[in-house]
A and B are shown apart, each in its own frame.
Chain A
Amino acid sequence: MTAALEVENLTKRYGSLTAVDDVSFSVETRETFGILGPNGAGKTTTLEMIEGLRTPNAGSIRLLGMDVLRQPQEIKERIGVQLQSTTLHAKLRVAEALRLFGSYYRQAIPADQLLQELALEEKRDAPVAQLSGGQRQRLALALALVNDPQVVFLDEPTTGLDPQARRNLWEIIAGLAERGKTVLLTTHYMEEAEELCTRVAIMDHGRVIALDTPDGLIADAGLEASVEIGGAGEVLHRALQEAGLPARLVAAGDKLVLHTSESSKVLGEVTRIAGQLGMTLDDLAVRKATLEDVFLALTGRQLRE
């Protein structure tokens, strides 16, 4: 496999704020690579520098073997981008927009085919201003695919969609990888990253704080399962801290979370300690660790507040 993208020491500053801080990673051809992080982590800034839309303060970007700053025109022919929010001329119609954007490229997929693939046939003559949020997202994705790009950039492709629409979009994105495309996406949703991505970079405050396959990230953090106790008070918190359990204890809001690879042992101890304190455990759950837990373990914060 060859690298489709190589990013080295990428940095972007806005005044005194360093939005992207010395970020390096590479993405292999045909990979679906996810950038995961909370609001303001620097995901969009990173993506838009790679797309050539923003100029980095430092660092280098090689995309498809080309320097992004030197050969922007050739790169534009070969990439497709869905921005975090795409605005088109309100009076433009759906099929018309696809044909128009197609005309900007050397090669273009016929509008009809894209309309069908993205289930927009019914809306082909509708002005873009009249589309629903989900339809607008699909049109933005269709526009990103109009030149049959080798690399596709999707900035929060499913944000704001209902679960059903999200599933539909996941299928389409998974289909891109099957057709040999390299995909870079950003998301706030752990399930999305776990479902779609071959590898995930976790970003926080402009830095990549972890990068691996979803399973690898979970294993590396020493998290196989988490025991969650809802509505636990200060007393129980202190008692668990002092008990020396084989777990990482994190308080998240009014919840206590114990990340562990020995869930049955921890569960037994928790029950015993609560019993000694004369407390009931009305909101207790054990579940497999997710990327959400990885983020919590790495930063001590929830991904989404």
Chain B
Amino acid sequence: MTMLARQAWMETKLFLRGLDNLFWTLAFPVFFIVLFGLLYGDTLWYEDLGVRAIDHILPGITVMALMVTGMMQTAIGFSEEREKGIYRRLALTPLRPSAILGGQILHRYFLVLLQTCILFALGIAAFGVRIAGSGLWIWLIVTLGALGFLSLGFLLAGLVRSAQAANGITMVVFFLLLFLGGVFFPREMMPGFLGGLSRVLPSTMLNDALREVMILGRGIGAVWQELLGVAGWFLVSLLGAVKLFRWE
């Protein structure tokens, strides 16, 4: 096994030992799918298109899961481990920083894919969601989203001094991206000013792209603007994250 794969596997093993992790990555998004499925079930949200609430919510919750696993847990987890001095001890070994970070990114990326599969399977099996678009495009969008939120997570960790501050700032950013990003409710419901802000958020652009592909079966050509926007967020966060990165 290469160093990178071994690190990723170790991260995964340690992750699975934390019950709170399993709650946030699995129970939390699954709970929302089930809740919306049972409450609104077959209610038509966009009658002309025949789109039900659950069809609309599934891509939204997928983006939420991406934010939790990619951004929130990365920012909080990394700052906590940094504050405890875990990386200081590792810095004394020949293990390269790139292997440490690469291992974390790989681990989180696989987690995101797993989450997506579980949420999709639940939507399809329990609530009759029909996925119109191509699996390849969906995978591409999810991957781009995961990269974007992971970078944002490392950027947030770089911005703050303490684990406590990381907790605070991450929660604020998370709820902002969640509610203004149209995860639960159609963006059309937002008043003008918020609507404008909403349009440039990465969560919004991901939601829109994912919905067009999943629900309406569009190709990547129809959502290139959104994807470009997400890629922009990804690059800017990545540059910031690299610039502000600290091991201790």
Write the residues of chain A forming the contact surface with B, with a CB cutoff of 8 angstroms: 51-53, 73, 76-77, 79, 81, 83, 85-89, 91-92, 100-101, 103-106, 143
Report the bound CA distance from A87 to B84 in whole Å: 6
Say yes or no: A86-B93 contact (C-beta < 8 A), given A100-B10, A103-B6: no
Contact between B94 and A86 (Cβ–Cβ < 8 Å)? no
Report the bound CA distance from A76 to B94 in whole Å: 6
Number of A-B contacts (CB under 8 A): 46
Say yes or no: A76-B89 contact (C-beta < 8 A), given A91-B17, A91-B18: no
Residues of A contacting B17 in the complex (Cβ-Cβ under 8 angstroms): 91
Residues of B contacting A88 in the complex (Cβ-Cβ under 8 angstroms): 86, 89
Say yes or no: A104-B84 contact (C-beta < 8 A), given A89-B14, A91-B17, A92-B14: no
Write the residues of chain B forming the contact surface with A, with a CB cutoff of 8 angstroms: 3, 6, 10, 14, 17-18, 81, 84-86, 88-95
Contact between B93 and A101 (Cβ–Cβ < 8 Å)? yes
Main secondary structure of the interface of B (DSSP, over half): helix
Main secondary structure of the interface of A (DSSP, over half): loop
Known: A77-B94, A88-B86, A101-B93. 20 other contacts (CB 8 A): A51-B92, A53-B91, A76-B93, A76-B94, A79-B92, A81-B92, A83-B88, A85-B85, A87-B89, A88-B89, A89-B81, A89-B86, A91-B14, A91-B18, A103-B6, A104-B3, A104-B95, A105-B93, A106-B94, A143-B89
Max chain B C-beta neighbours (<10 A), residue from A76, A77, A100, A104: A104
Residues of A contacting B3 in the complex (Cβ-Cβ under 8 angstroms): 103-104
A164 → chain B, closest Cβ, in Å?
A: 27
Contact between B85 and A87 (Cβ–Cβ < 8 Å)? yes
Residues of A contacting B84 in the complex (Cβ-Cβ under 8 angstroms): 87
Residues of B contacting A100 in the complex (Cβ-Cβ under 8 angstroms): 10
Q: Can you name the residue of chain B whose Cβ is closest to the Cβ of A75?
A: B94
Contact between A83 and B89 (Cβ–Cβ < 8 Å)? yes
Report the bound CA distance from A101 to B3 in whole Å: 12
B151 → chain A, closest Cβ, in Å?
A: 23
Q: Which of B14, B81, B94 contacts A104 (CB 8 A)?
A: B94
Contact between A105 and B92 (Cβ–Cβ < 8 Å)? no
Residues of A contacting B92 in the complex (Cβ-Cβ under 8 angstroms): 51-53, 76, 79, 81, 83
Residues of B contacting A73 in the complex (Cβ-Cβ under 8 angstroms): 94
